[in-house]
């Protein structure tokens, strides 16, 4: 059986524990991944410590050239990477290529790292005194990434962390670990020194070892909110810089003047694409007014029935299976819970089977109407192909719904009214806002991050926020005397007056 080992400088040690990697399309075990411990992490950290000083001393344009080379290699191997990703995750090939491409956009940003790393300079801040600042790497950073984006999120973290001069250790999800290993191989081929980008695999034992390790200066995490909170608290208690992105319950507000045909097209992709396994999915739609709700539902029902579920390699499939049998059971449990709570089950996706793949982890698209804010199924993240309709009586209620929710990752409003869109964007208590954009993931040179229980920490992913997270600022105040004493008192705090 195929075995995925750690990707370490000097090779991977023999493993004593392994985890099964399932095939979501048919329910079988397709490979095993080594599950590491503190000893494996120590080996990775030692290699990182040995390699990082020289990498940090490498001028930034040379580090940028590695990013240029890496980008070209990933594009060359795009089909191979997408097939590898789909095989383990279950998302369809087109979605896998999108996953990789969104990661590459951050790599493109990092190709300009020499400009981004320029510091500030003030000449003559005081008599003969100049002040300037520089950004320097943290040293060793770690990324702990989820199963749903095994290429994009590792690249969001790793590309920025290494391009600014850090060594980076990636702990990806043990459910789909092959793509992260392949990315590490391509970084080496692109010219990155051994020890600068390594991959360790593992479960909670490895995560705790990372959070407690004294040589690791920064940890970036993406996953569920409860685990994000745990990672943040334990990492900060150990003296680390931590950013921990959590779950979401993103709302899509539909105003009465919205183009409903466009809304339906956007909703079906945003709610059901990648089987709903996205932190920026749109699982809640909020039509404003009952008339809007009825018109929207009448258009949604045939559109949802027209969606095609298939295996991840089916080019005609809109989406594939969810990642594991346990997650399928969880999603179907939430469907039952929502129905038990009194919501109207308009389309039930449970019980879907695909001929020849009867043991695959498929969940059909599901639609609920008349969901209310007191329902647990509304309060919590389902992370599956389930769309819930929560009706709002007016614009004020529509703004309040996502603003009061425990999660604050993303939100969208669909309208032709510029004033309504502007008011909504300014007032809604959510970190990322789309105006007629259903999945408002910012471009790579801006930053990604939510509010409330969707994010713990003070900095966002990628863009300048990412650069700030992976670097520390040093400020220098310099004076070059002309040789004549100034008669000042050296024991008085200096001022620039």
Burial label for 406, CB within 10 Å (0-12, 13-18, 19+), is: middle
Q: How far apart are CA 308 and CA 299, in angstroms?
A: 17
Give me 107's structure tokens.
């790599």
Dihedral of CA 195/199/205/211: which sign? positive
Q: How far apart are CA 81 and CA 129, in angstroms?
A: 54
Comparing CA positions, the residue from 86, 74, 150 lying closest to residue 315 is 86
Greatest distance between any 2 Cα atoms in the chain: 91
Q: How far apart are CA 256 and CA 416, in angstroms?
A: 9
At how many degrees (to 10) do helices 152-163 and 93-110 cross?
10
Comparing CA positions, the residue from 317, 243, 309, 248 lying closest to residue 283 is 248
Task: Report H helices in 168-289.
Answer: 178-189, 204-212, 225-237, 260-272
Comparing CA positions, the residue from 322, 377, 301, 315 lying closest to residue 25 is 322
Name 452's bridge partners: 407
Q: If you count them, how many residues does the chain have?
A: 497
Per the listing, tokens 């109407």 go with 369
Give me 382's structure tokens.
């389902």
- Asked if residues 88 and 175 have their Cβ atoms less than 8 Å apart, the reply is yes
At how many degrees (to 10) do helices 60-76 and 152-163 cross?
160
Comparing CA positions, the residue from 476, 495, 478 lying closest to residue 119 is 476
The enclosing H or E element of 46 equals helix 38-57
Task: For the sheet with 29-34, list strands across it.
Answer: 2-4, 29-34, 18-22
Q: How far apart are CA 316 and CA 318, in angstroms?
A: 7
Q: How far apart are CA 181 and CA 183, in angstroms?
A: 5
Active-site residue set: 279
């Amino acid at each position: 059986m195929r075995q995925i080992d750690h990707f370490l400088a000097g090779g991977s040690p023999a493993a004593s524990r392994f985890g099964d990697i399932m095939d979501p399309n048919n329910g079988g075990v397709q490979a095993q991944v080594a599950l590491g411990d503190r000893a494996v992490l120590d080996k990775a950290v030692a290699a990182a410590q040995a390699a990082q000083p020289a990498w940090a001393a490498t001028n930034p344009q040379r580090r940028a050239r590695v990013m240029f080379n890496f980008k070209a290699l990933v594009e060359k191997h795009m089909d191979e990477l997408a097939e590898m990703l789909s095989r383990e995750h279950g998302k369809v090939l087109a979605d896998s290529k999108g996953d990789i491409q969104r990661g590459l956009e951050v790599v493109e940003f990092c190709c300009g790292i020499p400009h981004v790393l320029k510091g500030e300079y003030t000449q003559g801040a005081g008599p003969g005194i100049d002040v300037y600042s520089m950004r320097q790497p943290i040293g060793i950073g770690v990324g702990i990434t989820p199963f749903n984006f095994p290429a994009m999120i590792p690249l969001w973290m790793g590309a920025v962390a290494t391009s600014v001069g850090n060594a980076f250790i990636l702990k990806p999800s043990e459910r789909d670990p092959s793509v992260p290993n392949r990315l590490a191989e391509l970084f080496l081929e692109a010219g990155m020194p051994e020890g600068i980008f390594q991959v360790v695999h593992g479960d909670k034992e490895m995560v705790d070892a990372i959070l407690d390790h004294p040589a690791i200066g920064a940890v970036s995490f993406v996953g569920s909110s409860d685990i994000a909170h745990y990672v943040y608290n334990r990492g900060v208690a150990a003296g680390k810089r931590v950013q921990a992105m959590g779950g979401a319950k993103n709302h899509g507000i539909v105003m009465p003047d919205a183009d409903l045909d466009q809304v339906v097209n956007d909703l079906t992709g945003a709610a059901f694409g990648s089987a709903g396994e996205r932190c920026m999915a749109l699982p809640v739609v909020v039509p404003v007014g009952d008339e809007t709700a009825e018109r929207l539902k009448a258009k949604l029902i045939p559109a949802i029935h027209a969606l095609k579920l298939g295996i991840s390699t089916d080019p005609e499939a809109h989406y594939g299976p969810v990642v594991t049998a346990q997650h399928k059971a969880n999603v179907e449990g939430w469907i039952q819970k929502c129905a038990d709570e009194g919501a109207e089950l308009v389309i039930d996706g449970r019980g879907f089977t695909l001929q020849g793949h009867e043991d695959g982890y498929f969940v059909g698209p599901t639609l609920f109407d008349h969901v209310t804010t007191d329902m647990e199924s509304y309060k919590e993240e389902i992370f599956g192909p389930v769309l819930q309709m929560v009706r709002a009586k007016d614009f004020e209620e529509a703004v309040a719904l996502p603003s009061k929710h425990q999660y604050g990752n993303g939100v969208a409003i669909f309208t032709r009214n510029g004033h309504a869109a502007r008011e909504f964007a300014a007032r809604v208590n959510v970190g990322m806002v789309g105006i007629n954009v259903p999945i408002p993931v910012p471009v790579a040179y801006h930053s990604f991050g939510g509010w409330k229980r969707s994010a713990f920490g003070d900095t966002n992913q990628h863009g300048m926020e990412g650069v700030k997270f992976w670097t520390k600022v040093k400020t220098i105040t310099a004076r070059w005397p002309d040789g004549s004493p100034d008669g000042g008192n050296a024991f008085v705090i200096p001022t620039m007056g």
